[in-house]
Amino acid sequence: MRPFDYIRPTDAADAAERISGAGVKAIAGGTNLLDLMKLQVETPKVLVDVGRLDMASIAEDGAGLRIGALVTNTNTANHARVRADYAVLARTILAGATQQLRNKATTGGNLCQRTRCTYFTNTDQPCNKRKPGSGCGAIGGVARLHAILGASDQCIATYPGDMAVAMAALDAKVHLTGGATGERTVPVRDFHNLPGQTPWQENVLETGEIITAVTLPPPVRARQIYRKVRERSSYAFALVSVAAIIAKEGGKIARADLAFGGLAHKPWHDPRLSELLVGETPSPALFEKVADTLLDSADARGGSDFKIPLARRTLIAVLTEATEDQL
């Protein structure tokens, strides 16, 4: 850890003003940032502690719900409306980390958590994300956790989080403040970037911009599933995960929103999948076709080859579960 200055801003505007220039970072629960600072993967000169700002409540937002950037993962997962109307969100959160971590982890911090690529966290290894131009250690190395969709020759890391996968399936919106354009709203589906040639630009946050809240659209009556595949049954990041919100009407699929974790540099959402599913009668052949589409550009570059069949099978399992015994 490098020495740093610590600032406690008075409100969101003050925070945004102070988070300007290189070397300044926001800190919320600290469960990701502090670990990375100890390893000197992150070396901010100034920490702006947004943790005490007034962004820690969950409120009705029309028929939807507004979850403040500082609501802890525990409070979101336990919230009565979340559990009743957005079960997939509660499920993704509870599938992540541990109770102790979830008590500290926040909405904003969770969205911005960084990859678990172990070349990224090992400062004695090359990594384009940590040190632009140094190369990608994971390519040709140990890359079990790595991407099969949307990767580049510069970086094959995955976004590791669970919560954002549900938010992508729900088509939630991220509310930002403090950037050049002032307040703005970005769909969760567009919040994270693919690595391309700039793997260090992980999301659309501009300098000085902070997350204030995430809003969820009005709830839908649908089956909501989160399936997280991993070697041990808890306290591990997803090898592959699928969030699904699926409704049937008259034997046909009326709604199908899917998002995937563990496959890419962002929670993966492919609009073609809904198009294939909606209006169709569920069948193994249909599910195979959906899986083919999801994976038509899959490329594993070595260590994560296994994720291609695993993603296929997990998706089919979820679609099967979501559509059986549902009229």
Ligand X SMILES: Cc1cc2nc3c(=O)[nH]c(=O)nc-3n(C[C@H](O)[C@H](O)[C@H](O)COP(=O)(O)OP(=O)(O)OC[C@H]3O[C@@H](n4cnc5c(N)ncnc54)[C@H](O)[C@@H]3O)c2cc1C
**Which chain residues interact with another protein by CB under 8 A?**
1-3, 38, 40, 116, 118-119, 122-125, 137, 140-142, 144-145, 229-237, 239-240, 306, 309-310, 313-314, 316-317
199 binds, among another protein, ligand SF4, ligand X, none (CB under 5 to 8 A by kind): ligand SF4
**Given the complex with ligand SF4, which of 198 and 326 has the nearer CB atom?**
198
Q: How far is the CB of 142 from another protein (least distance, A)?
A: 4
Strand order in the sheet with 182-187: 58-61, 64-68, 210-216, 173-179, 182-187
Q: How far is the CB of 97 from ligand X (least distance, A)?
A: 3
113 binds, among ligand SF4, ligand X, another protein, none (CB under 5 to 8 A by kind): ligand X
Residues facing 86 on adjacent strands = none
161 binds, among ligand SF4, ligand X, another protein, none (CB under 5 to 8 A by kind): ligand X
User: Could you give the CA distance from residue 177 to residue 256 in angstroms, rounded to a whole number?
Assistant: 31
Binding mask 74-113 toward ligand X (x if CB under 6 A, else -) reads ----------------------xx---x--xxx-xxx-xx
Per DSSP (E only), the strands in the chain are: 5-7, 24-27, 46-49, 58-61, 64-68, 173-179, 182-187, 210-216, 223-229, 240-249, 252-261
Residue 204 near residue 211 (C-beta atoms within 8 A): no
**Given the complex with ligand X, which of 55 and 322 has the nearer CB atom?**
55
Cα separations in angstroms, 127 against 137, 139, 160, 255: 6, 10, 17, 41
According to the binding rule CB under 6 A, does residue 163 interact with ligand SF4? no
User: Could you give the CA distance from residue 106 to residue 110 in angstroms, rounded to a whole number?
Assistant: 6
DSSP string, 66-117: EEETT-BHHHHHH-HHHHHH-HHHHHHHHTSS-HHHHHH-BHHHHHHPPP--
C-beta atoms surrounding 283 within 10 Å: 11
C-beta atoms surrounding 204 within 10 Å: 15
Pick from 44, 137, 219, 262 the residue near ligand SF4 by CB under 6 A: 137
120 binds, among ligand SF4, ligand X, another protein, none (CB under 5 to 8 A by kind): ligand SF4
**Given the complex with another protein, which of 140 and 279 has the nearer CB atom?**
140
Binding mask 219-238 toward ligand X (x if CB under 6 A, else -) reads ------------------x-
Stretch 22-61 residues interacting with ligand SF4 (CB under 6 A): none
Residue 8, SS3?
Answer: coil
Break the chain down into helix, strand, coil percent, rounded to 5: 30, 25, 50
Q: Give contact residues for ligand SF4 (rule: CB under 6 A).
A: 115, 117, 119-120, 127-129, 136-138, 155-157, 199
Please give the residue ranges that form the binding site for ligand X (CB under 6 A).
25-33, 35, 50, 69, 96-97, 101, 104-106, 108-110, 112-113, 161-163, 205, 210-211, 237
